[in-house]
C-alpha cells in the first residue's frame, strides 16, 4: 500500500444510521478514524427496509454528516445487513487433492469451499457468506489453512449464512439511490463481533449479542472459529413500545423514560423511587413508580436472553462458553443488563466496545458503534487477505443477482 486508503462503514439500523470514515496508510498499525456521521432512521422495521424514500433520506443525512466531519467525499461503503430473514446453516465440502504430488493447493481449497456452498435453497434466497470453520486433510481435523499440506482428500466444514433476496435488494436500492457504491454487504452481527471481541475470547468460546433497535444479532465463537450466527426478532425499540403501552403515553415519553430511568433489574430498584414525568420536558405529567417501568424493561430483556439461550441450546453450548456473553449495540448500554445476563444465562457477561482504531475514537467509544467500526475492520481484513490494496474488496455482487460467489477467500471470517 503506497498511499492512504479510505474505508467507510455504513450501519443501516432500525433506529439509527451510523457511518465511520477511516484512513489506512503505509506502515500504520491501526486504521485512523477521520470522520463520524449519524442520523435517526425511520424507514426500517426489525432491520429491514419498509420505506425506501425515507431510508434514502436518512442514509444521505448520515453520510453528509460524516463527510463534514472528515472533509472527504464518500463514494463507496461497506454495508451491514440484518433482519430476521437471515439464517445460518452448516454444510461440508469434500474434494480429492488434484496435484500429482498430493500437496493441497489454493485451487483445491477453492473447490472444497465451493462444494460446501452448493446446497439447495429457496428461489428467493441467496447465500450472503460462506465461512470455512475448519478443514480436514485425510481425516486430520482442526486445520485452519490446509494450503501446502500433503494428502489425498480435503474436507471443509463451513457455515453458510443466507438472506432473502428482496430484503437485500431493497437495502441495496436505498444505498445506491443515496449516491453510494456498495463495496460489500456484511452481516451486521459479524461486523459487530469483529470490532468488540478479542482473539482470546474467540478461542475460549464467546457469544456476541448485538442489541439493535429492531433485532438482536448473535454470533458464537469457539476455538477461534464462528460456530453459529442468527438474528433474533426482538430489539431495544420493543422495550420503548412496551413502556409506551404501559404508561399509556407517547413513544417520545417512553424513550426518555427508558434512557433516563431504565434498568434491566427490578430487584435493585426501591419501591419508593418515583418518576416525575413533568421533569422530562414533554407534555405528559404525573408521578409513576420507577419499579413498574423497570419491570417492563426486565421482562423484555429476559425474553431476548431466553431466545439467545435457546439458540445456545440448539448448538449444545448452553452455559458452556468460558468467555461468556459480550453485549454490543445501543441496547447494551441498559444499566444492570450484565447482572441480569449473568443470572439468567449462568455465564460471565460484559459490555463490548469497538477496538483497534485510532483518531477520533472518543466519539465511537460506544457499543452502539461496534457494527460501523466492525464494517471498516472487516473491509480492511478482506483487502489485506486478497493480496494488497489495489484490489477492490470481494463480497456480494450488487449488479444483477445478489450474492455471487467470487472465490473461497471472499468470506473467510476476519
> 343 exposed, middle or buried (CB, 10 Å; 0-12, 13-18, 19+)?
middle
User: Span 398-413, mean pLDDT?
Assistant: 38
Q: How does strand 125-137 pair with strand 140-143?
A: antiparallel
**Given this model, what pLDDT does residue 404 score?**
39
Mean pLDDT of the chain: 89
Question: In this predicted structure, which of 49-53, 255-259, 406-410 has the lowest mean pLDDT?
Answer: 406-410
67-101: per-residue pLDDT in tens? 999 999 999 999 999 998 999 999 999 999 999 99
In 97-172, beta strands by DSSP E: 125-137, 140-143, 153-164
Query: What is d(CA 228, CA 26) in angstroms, rounded to the nearest whole number?
Result: 35
Positions of CATH 3.30.1490.110 in the chain: 87-163
Share of the chain above pLDDT 90, in %: 77
Query: What is d(CA 352, CA 371) in angstroms, rounded to the nearest whole number?
Result: 11
The strand order across the sheet containing 153-164 reads 87-96, 153-164, 125-137, 140-143
Superfamily of domain 232-350: ATPase, nucleotide binding domain (3.30.420.40)
Query: What is d(CA 17, CA 174) in angstroms, rounded to the nearest whole number?
Result: 12
Among residues 226, 177, 219, 123, which one has the least CA distance to residue 12? 177
User: Backbone phi, then psi, for 404, in 5-degree steps?
Assistant: -65, 140
> 229 exposed, middle or buried (CB, 10 Å; 0-12, 13-18, 19+)?
buried
Residue 414 CB partners (closer than 8 Å, separation 6+): 194, 377, 378, 381, 382, 385
SS3 content of the chain, % helix, strand, coil (to 5): 35, 30, 35
Query: What is d(CA 210, CA 222) in angstroms, rounded to the nearest whole number?
Result: 18
Among residues 93, 74, 79, which one has the least CA distance to residue 35? 74
> 387 exposed, middle or buried (CB, 10 Å; 0-12, 13-18, 19+)?
exposed
**Given this model, what pLDDT does residue 371 score?**
97
CATH architecture for the domain at 87-163:
2-Layer Sandwich (3.30)
Positions of CATH 3.30.420.40 in the chain: 5-84+165-195+354-411, 232-350
In the predicted structure, residue 260 carries a pLDDT above the cut 60:
yes
Residue 313 CB partners (closer than 8 Å, separation 6+): none
Model confidence at 386, pLDDT cuts 50, 70, 90, reads low
Angle of the 290-314 helix axis to the 337-345 helix axis, nearest 10: 40
**Given this model, what pLDDT does residue 221 score?**
95
Reduced to 3 states (helix: H, G, I; strand: E, B; else coil), residue 144 is coil
Q: Find out whether 393 and 186 touch, Cβ atoms under 8 Å.
A: no
Residue 187 CB partners (closer than 8 Å, separation 6+): 80, 81, 82, 86, 128, 129, 161, 217, 229
Q: How does strand 87-96 pair with strand 274-276?
A: unpaired
Among residues 39, 29, 20, 5, which one has the least CA distance to residue 80? 20
Among residues 359, 360, 191, 365, which one has the least CA distance to residue 351? 365
Q: Find out whether 212 and 47 touch, Cβ atoms under 8 Å.
A: yes
156-205: per-residue pLDDT in tens? 999 999 999 999 999 999 999 999 999 999 999 999 999 999 999 999 99
Identify the residue whose cell numbers are 468467555: 323
Model confidence at 409, pLDDT cuts 50, 70, 90, reads very low
**Given this model, what pLDDT does residue 71 score?**
94
Model confidence at 285, pLDDT cuts 50, 70, 90, reads confident
Classify domain 5-84+165-195+354-411 at the CATH topology level. Answer: Nucleotidyltransferase; domain 5 (3.30.420)
In the predicted structure, residue 137 carries a pLDDT above the cut 80:
yes
Among residues 374, 314, 313, 371, which one has the least CA distance to residue 347? 313
Q: Give me 48's grid cell.
A: 429491514
Among residues 107, 20, 10, 119, which one has the least CA distance to residue 58? 10
Handedness of CA 97, 102, 105, 107 (dihedral sign): negative
Model confidence at 25, pLDDT cuts 50, 70, 90, reads confident
* Helix (H) or strand (E) run with residue 219 in it: strand 216-222
Q: How does strand 325-328 pair with strand 349-351?
A: parallel
64-74: per-residue pLDDT in tens? 999 999 999 99
Query: What is d(CA 42, CA 12) in angstroms, rounded to the nearest whole number?
Result: 11
Look at the pTM and tell me if it is higher than 0.95: no
Query: What is d(CA 62, CA 41) in angstroms, rounded to the nearest whole number?
Result: 9
Q: Find out whether 346 and 382 touch, Cβ atoms under 8 Å.
A: no
Amino acid at each position: 500500500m503506497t498511499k492512504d486508503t479510505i474505508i467507510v462503514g455504513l450501519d443501516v439500523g432500525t433506529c439509527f444510521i451510523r457511518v465511520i470514515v477511516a484512513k489506512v496508510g503505509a506502515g500504520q498499525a491501526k486504521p485512523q478514524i477521520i470522520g463520524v456521521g449519524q442520523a435517526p432512521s425511520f424507514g426500517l422495521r426489525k432491520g429491514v427496509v419498509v420505506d425506501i424514500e425515507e431510508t434514502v433520506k436518512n442514509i444521505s443525512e448520515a453520510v453528509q454528516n460524516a463527510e463534514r466531519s472528515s472533509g472527504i467525499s464518500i463514494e463507496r461503503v461497506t454495508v451491514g445487513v440484518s433482519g430476521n430473514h437471515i439464517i445460518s446453516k452448516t454444510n461440508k465440502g469434500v474434494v480429492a487433492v488434484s496435484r500429482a504430488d498430493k500437496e493441497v493447493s489454493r485451487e483445491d481449497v477453492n473447490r472444497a469451499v465451493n462444494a460446501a456452498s452448493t446446497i439447495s435453497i429457496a428461489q428467493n434466497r441467496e447465500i450472503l457468506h460462506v465461512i470455512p470453520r475448519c478443514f480436514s486433510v485425510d481425516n486430520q481435523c482442526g486445520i485452519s489453512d490446509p494450503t501446502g499440506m500433503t494428502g489425498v482428500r480435503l474436507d471443509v466444514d463451513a457455515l453458510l449464512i443466507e438472506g432473502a433476496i428482496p430484503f437485500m435488494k431493497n437495502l441495496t436500492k436505498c444505498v445506491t439511490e443515496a449516491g453510494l457504491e456498495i463495496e460489500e454487504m456484511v452481516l451486521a452481527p459479524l461486523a459487530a463481533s469483529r470490532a468488540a471481541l478479542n482473539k482470546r475470547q474467540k478461542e475460549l468460546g464467546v457469544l456476541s449479542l448485538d442489541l439493535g433497535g429492531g433485532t438482536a444479532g448473535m454470533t458464537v465463537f469457539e476455538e477461534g472459529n464462528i460456530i453459529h450466527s442468527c438474528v433474533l426478532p426482538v430489539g431495544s425499540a420493543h422495550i420503548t413500545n412496551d413502556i409506551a403501552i404501559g404508561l399509556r403515553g407517547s413513544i417520545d415519553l417512553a424513550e426518555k423514560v427508558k434512557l433516563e430511568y431504565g434498568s434491566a433489574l427490578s430487584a435493585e430498584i426501591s419501591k419508593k423511587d418515583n418518576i416525575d414525568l413533568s421533569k422530562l420536558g414533554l407534555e405528559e405529567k404525573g408521578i409513576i413508580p420507577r419499579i413498574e417501568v423497570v419491570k417492563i424493561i426486565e421482562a423484555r430483556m429476559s425474553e431476548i436472553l431466553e431466545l439467545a439461550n435457546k439458540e445456545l441450546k440448539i448448538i449444545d453450548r448452553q452455559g458452556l462458553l468460558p468467555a461468556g456473553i459480550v453485549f454490543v449495540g445501543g441496547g447494551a448500554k441498559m444499566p444492570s443488563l450484565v447482572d441480569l445476563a449473568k443470572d439468567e444465562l449462568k455465564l460471565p457477561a460484559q459490555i463490548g466496545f469497538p477496538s483497534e482504531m485510532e483518531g477520533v475514537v472518543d466519539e465511537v467509544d460506544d457499543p452502539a458503534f461496534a457494527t460501523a467500526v466492525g464494517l471498516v475492520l472487516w473491509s480492511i481484513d478482506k483487502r489485506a487477505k486478497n493480496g494488497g490494496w489495489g484490489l477492490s474488496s470481494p463480497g456480494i455482487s450488487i449488479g444483477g443477482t445478489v450474492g455471487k460467489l467470487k472465490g473461497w477467500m471472499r468470506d473467510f471470517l476476519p
